């Protein structure tokens, strides 16, 4: 699969899902912080071999930096849900 498609998926799905989970948890955030975290994660996904892990750590790192450690559970759960949602999306995109 094209690395650009993977990065774009990380950015779009990550932004949408993290924002939705934050809204469900009533986590105080601004949309630009979620977009920034998703874009950093997408950019880090281009690193060969460790891009997936670097992307995950980068997304978490930006959210912790912007929102603070007091929201650790909300941040970890939202990013984990976003990553789980990315699996079927990437599988669908891989078929075409």
The whole-number average pLDDT for the span 56-63 is 96
Each domain of the chain, given as residue ranges in start order, spans: 3-95
For the chain, give the mean pLDDT: 94
What average pLDDT does the segment 50-75 reach?
A: 93
Average pLDDT over residues 79-90: 95
Percentage of the chain exceeding pLDDT 70: 99
Find where tokens 């559970």 sit: 73
**How far is it, in rounded angstroms, from Cα 20 to Cα 26?**
10
The answer on pLDDT for 96 being more than 70 is no
Long-range contact pairs involving 31-39 (C-beta distance under 8 Å, separation at least 24): 33/62, 33/63, 33/66, 33/67, 34/63, 36/62, 36/66, 37/62, 37/63, 37/66, 38/10, 38/11, 38/12, 38/14, 39/11
For 34-59, the pLDDT digits (tens) are 999 999 999 999 999 999 999 999 99
């Amino acid at each position: 699969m094209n690395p650009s498609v993977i990065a774009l998926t990380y950015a779009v799905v990550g932004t949408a899902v993290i924002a939705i989970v934050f809204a469900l948890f009533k986590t105080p955030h601004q949309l630009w912080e979620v977009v920034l975290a998703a874009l950093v994660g997408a950019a880090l996904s281009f690193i060969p071999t460790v891009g997936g892990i670097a992307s995950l750590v980068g997304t978490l790192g930006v959210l912790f930096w912007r929102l603070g450690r007091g929201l650790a559970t909300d941040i970890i759960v939202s990013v984990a849900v976003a990553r789980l949602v990315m699996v079927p999306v990437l599988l669908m995109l891989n078929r075409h």
